[in-house]
Amino acid sequence: MKAPAEGTLRGIGTFLATFGLGVATYIAIADSGGGSPVCIAGGHGCQTVAESSYSHLAGVNIAIFGIAGYVVLLACALLRGDAFRLTAFVVSLIGFGYSLYLTYLELFTIDAICQWCVASAVLMTLLFVTNAVRMLAYVGTEP
Amino acid sequence: MSGRRDREARRDERLEEEQQAGAAERRQRMVKLASAGAFLALVVVAVLIVVSSGNSSGGDSSNIVEAKEVDELLAGIPQKGMVLGTPGAKVAVLEFGDLQCPVCKGYSEEVLPQVIENRVRSGEATLDFRNFTIIGPQSKPAGAAALAAGEQGRGWNFVELFYRNQGSEDSGYADDAFLTAIAKAAGVPDLAKWNQARESPAALSRVEATSAEAENLGFTGTPSFALEGPGANGTEAIGTPESVGALESAIENAGK
C-alpha cells in the first residue's frame, strides 16, 4: 500500500498536535486553580482522575508534560527533514505508551474515566500512527 | 561524436547508481537510528511508569483504590456489626487484626477472599473482625472507625478497603482525612453519625476490650484467629493459619 504524501501526513500531524495542545492546556489550567476539568457529558470522572495521585508525576501535573510533548510534535509536523521525522516518531511513541498506561489506570485502578484524558490518549495514538507512517515511508529521503 | 555521447551516458548512469546507493545507505542508517529511538522511547515509558506507580504507595486519602473489588467480594453477604456472614452459621471465625498491620493486609488480600467465597458466602461460617491494636497510636482510632462503620452495616467494607489502601507501617497516614476517605469509599451512608460514633468513648473502649481479649487468648501478633463451633474447644485459638487450605480445614473441624 502506498503511503500518503508526506505533506498530507505533516498536515494531519499539525491538526492533531494543535488539538492535543488545546486539550492538555485546558487540563493544566483547570488543575492550576486547585480545581479539575469539567466532564462535558457529566459525572465526576474528571474530578476523580484529577484528584488521584496519578495525575502528577514528581509533583508536576502530567498535563504539563503533555503540553511539552504536543509542542514538540507540532514543531516536528511543521518542519521538514529526517531529524524532525525521527523526533516526532520517538516523542509520539513515548506519548502513546504512557497514554496506554494512564488509560489502564483509569479503567482498572482509579475506576473513573476522564473524557479529556481519553481525548488526549486518542489524539496521541493517532499522532503515533501518523508519525510512524511518516518515518517508515520517508526517512532517508530528501526533505 | 558517438563515442563522446556514449562516455557521457555511461557517466550519467554511474552517477545515478552512486546516488541511489548513497540514498539506500542513508535510509538504512536512519532506520537503524529510528530503531534505537524506539528502544529509547520504550525505556522512557518504563521509567515514567515506575515513577508514577511509586506515587501510589498507599495511605493516600486522595486516591482510594479497589472500592469496586471490595464491593464485589462482599456483595450479597449479610453484615451485622463487625460480623460478616449468615447469622447462626455453624462456625464463627474471629480475626484479631490491626488495620495498620502489613501482614494483615497480605492475609486480607491473599487468604480471606477465598475463605469468604468458599465458607462465608455459603453460610457455613461467619467472620468476626476484632481489633487487636499493637502497631501504633493511630491503630485505636482506626479500629474505632471500623466499628463505627460496622454500626451502619459497612464494617467489613471499611476493613477490607483500609487494608487495600494501607500506607507504610505507622507512618502517620491513618489520619482523619484518610479514615473519612475510606468510610466514604466503603459506602458508609451517614458520615455525620459515623464521625460521632468513632469518636465516642464507647468505641475506643470496645477496641481496648477486644485487644485485651486477644492477649487473654495468648496472641502476640496480628492477624491471629480463633474459632467457635461444635467441634471447637470453646473459643479455640488457632494462631495464624498459613494458607487458605489450613484455615478452611480448621473451619471444617470446628464445624464437626
Q: What is the pLDDT of residues B83-120, one digit of tens each?
A: 999 999 999 999 999 999 988 988 898 899 999 999 99
Q: Answer yes or no: do A111 and B56 touch at CB < 8 A.
A: no
Residues of B in contact with A110 (CB under 8 A): 63, 65
Alpha-helical segments (H) within chain B: 2-53, 67-74, 102-110, 112-115, 139-150, 155-164, 176-185, 191-198, 201-216, 244-255
Q: What whole-number percentage of chain B has pLDDT above 70? A: 97
Please identify every stretch of chain A with a pLDDT value under 70, giving residue numbers as ranges: 33-35, 51-53, 143
Q: Which residue, among A101, A5, A95, A111, has the nearest Cα to A48 in the 3D structure?
A: A111
Residue B213: predicted pLDDT: 96
Is the pLDDT score of B55 beyond 70? no
pLDDT of residue B11: 87
Global pTM? 0.56
Q: If you ran DSSP here, which 8-state letter would residue B226 be given?
A: E
Please give the Cα distance from A111 to B140 (Å, whole number): 30
CB B74 within 8 A of CB B156: yes
pLDDT at res. A15: 98
Banded pLDDT at B18 (limits 50, 70, 90): confident
DSSP H or E segment with residue A107: helix A82-108
pLDDT the model gives residue A12: 98
- d(CA B126, nearest CA chain A) in Å: 30
Q: Which of A98, A103, A124 to mutate to test the interface with B (most CBs of B within 10 A)?
A: A98
Q: Report ipTM (2 d.p.).
A: 0.86
Q: Does the pLDDT of residue B59 top 80, yes or no? A: no
Q: Which of B30, B38, B63 minimises the CB distance to A93?
A: B38
- Cα torsion B244, B245, B246, B252: sign: positive
Q: How many residues does chain B have?
A: 256
Closest chain A residue by Cα to residue B31: A139
Report the alpha-carbon distance of residue A20 to residue A92 in Å, rounded.
12
Average pLDDT over residues B57-61: 74
Average pLDDT, chain B: 91
pLDDT in tens, B167-176: 877 888 899 9
- pLDDT at position A35 is 67
In one-letter notation, the amino acid at residue B167 is G
